[in-house]
Amino acid sequence: MNSITVVNALGLQCSVKGGALPNKHVAQDSWNVECKLARVTRLPRSTKTVFASIGNGDSVDSREHGTRQAMVEKPEAPEVQRSSEESAFNWNTQWYPVAVERDLDKNSPHPATILGRPLAIWWDKSTSKWQVYDDQCPHRLAPLSEGSISEEGHLRCSYHGWTFKGDSGECTGIPQAPKDGKQRHRSKRACVSVYPSMEQQGILWFWSDLSQGPVNIEAAANPPPVFSELSDPDFGYDISLRDLEYSYETLIENLMDPAHVNFAHHKIQGNRKSAEPLNFTITTKIAPSGFKGEDEKSVETFIPPVSFLLQFTLGGNNKQHIPGTNMETREEKNSEKKATKPKKVSLLFLCIPVSPGKSRLIWSFPRNFATFLFKITPPWVLHMTNNLVLDSDMYLLHLLERRLQVEGPENWFKRAYIPTTADAYVAGFRRWLNDFAGGCPDWSGRFEDNLPPSPPKRIILDRFNQHVVKCKSCSNALKNFKALEVGLQILAIALVGVVAASAVVPFRPVAALSIPLVIGAVVSTILSKWLAHFTYKTFYFHDYNHAVVK
């Protein structure tokens, strides 16, 4: 088989089998390539450099170009550079994930806001696909996501009943227009703006540019990233979603920072006593198309604007903890008697900009071992643990980014003190954001620069509206637990009623069971109270106070 050698967008020199170039949006490990790091040439000291490898020395401010650089103890380590020929990153011509497909109800429209754009998501029977419409009726700008699905399967505005369908967003009816008059619904002004959209690997994506309508040549030529683990039958996984009360920038920065796990998620995922030095290295050039990094346990890939993938291969006799999960695993070394496939687990995060101070996270942790657990464990149980993790540092991050706003996000490298390699990925992301992406998502003038006021902590950690109402498994579980709670209350009342009735009208068999019946009523009441507390903490609000968790 022939092969060709290229240097891809992440700066890796690749030998591609079969002579076919990999799509630039495909996750690195899904390519059929053999890669090695391309040589990085050093630039003069006056050239703007990127945080790549940090020694144990202190950071100093460079008077030469006004950015903070690091004193590197190992001068032989390659510096990561930015080419002056690199183009800027365009936020408005990208694919963004909108929702988890299995959690969408085909019988009603769903609202979403991505990159400041209000969207209406609905199932179009005429095209047998999910449509992503601009969430405003062309009539009087009412939100179509508050509408309904008509008997014909069209999207109906709840304000005046206009209906729409198809990839063109054509209006199919105006109830107020005379039926025997001019066909006013055929006017182009009656059409809804339609975003290109597609479902892939269980996730609904939309293309954020409306300039070419629903059929966009650039969108078709650059499909969303494909993650090989989600298509591999050897892997098991769950996919879920949550809205968060902090910005896209804070979300990605936090996920690129495994060092925080032992402290911010103490007693949930990590432990403060388990903290240790972390040696992270950015191994490619930081470019508009992202960057790649690694440490002794994993490989990290950032594919802008939303995808961050960590891939682990587990082995050896020592127990290993996977950052970002509750998983610890021990694998025996392969021997001649028993040859096994390497155990692999990936942490996939899709980080979605919603508006200043708000983001959406879609996550999946596929693995090729113990996959049967995904089949026997209800998704809501997995989500309960995931939400505990998100809750434990959400309030902290919400406050943190308001501190940064006072300092000015553009001054991140001047204000942040980053003396260790544990912050390598975070600094790499900030460099990508500042050098190529304008310092923050492009809101197209929809918002002011300031973050919104901080709501009460109860709202910041509102698990019900941020996750439960958007998740079928958790919504159904909540309904079942509430029904069980009511059932226990009814049972307690019924048992007490039977005992009371037997006291008024003596009935010897019932009288003999009075004590067990009373005990049953008490137990039912206690279980009902416990269940009410459990459902509240699991599906509504679970506080986390770092000061009291010892």
Q: What angle do CA 118, 390, 482 make, to 5 degrees?
A: 85
State the distance between the two ends of the chain, measured CA to CA, in whole angstroms.
59
Q: Mean pLDDT lowest for which of 45-54, 394-403, 446-455, 522-531?
A: 45-54
Q: What's the rounded mean pLDDT across residues 259-263?
A: 89
Res. 41: pLDDT tops 50? no
Q: Mean pLDDT lowest for which of 128-132, 210-214, 336-340, 355-359?
A: 336-340
User: Using CB atoms within 10 A of its CB, is residue 178 exposed (0-12), middle (13-18) or buried (19+)?
Assistant: exposed
Res. 332: pLDDT tops 80? no
3-state secondary structure of 209: coil
Q: Are 164 and 139 in contact (CB under 8 A)?
A: no
Q: Is domain 95-221 annotated with CATH 3.40.50.720? A: no
Q: 318: pLDDT confidence band, cut at 50, 70 and 90?
A: very low
Q: Rank 28-42, 108-122, 255-269, 316-330 by mean pLDDT and report only the highest.
A: 108-122
Query: Chain-centre distance of CA 333, in angstroms?
Result: 34
Res. 295: pLDDT tops 70? yes
Res. 94: pLDDT tops 70? yes
d(CA 306, CA 301): 11
Res. 297: pLDDT tops 50? yes
Q: 410: pLDDT confidence band, cut at 50, 70 and 90?
A: confident
Q: What's the rounded mean pLDDT across residues 410-431?
A: 91
Tokens of 199: 């479902």
Percentage above 90 pLDDT, the chain:
60
Biggest distance spanned by C-alpha atoms of the chain: 100
Residues in Cβ contact with 135 at an 8 Å cutoff, skipping those fewer than 6 apart: 111, 118, 119, 120, 143, 144, 145
Place of tokens 């290295």: 281
Res. 372: pLDDT tops 60? yes
Q: 252: pLDDT confidence band, cut at 50, 70 and 90?
A: very high
* Strand-by-strand arrangement of the 95-100 sheet: 95-100, 203-207, 197-200
Question: Which is more confidently placed, 482 or 81?
Answer: 482
Model pLDDT, residue 16: 35
User: Using CB atoms within 10 A of its CB, is residue 92 exposed (0-12), middle (13-18) or buried (19+)?
Assistant: middle
Three-state secondary structure readout of 210-279: CCCCCCCHHHHHCCCCCCHHHCCCCCECCEEEEEECCCHHHHHHHHCCHHHHHHHCECCCECHHHCCCCC
Res. 396: pLDDT tops 60? yes
Q: 44: pLDDT confidence band, cut at 50, 70 and 90?
A: very low
3-state secondary structure of 399: helix
Model pLDDT, residue 507: 65
Three-state secondary structure readout of 82-97: CCCCCCCCCCCCCEEE
Residue by residue, DSSP assigns 289-316 as TBEEEE-SSEEEEEETTTEEEEEEEE-S
d(CA 406, CA 359): 20
Segment 198-238, tens digit of pLDDT = 999 999 999 999 888 778 899 999 999 999 999 999 999 99
Domain borders along the chain are 1-36, 95-221, 228-327+340-470, 475-539
Model pLDDT, residue 15: 38
Model pLDDT, residue 58: 39
Q: What's the rounded mean pLDDT across residues 91-116?
A: 97
Q: Mean pLDDT lowest for which of 231-245, 470-484, 493-507?
A: 493-507
d(CA 150, CA 133): 16
Query: Chain-centre distance of CA 16, in angstroms?
Result: 31
| Cα-based torsion angle of the residue sequence 351, 353, 357, 362 in order, rounded to the nearest 10 degrees | -30
Model pLDDT, residue 8: 35
Number of alpha carbons in the 13 Å side-chain half-sphere of residue 288: 15
Query: How high does pLDDT run on average in the chain?
Result: 82
What dotted CATH number matches 228-327+340-470?
A: 3.90.380.10
Q: 242: pLDDT confidence band, cut at 50, 70 and 90?
A: very high
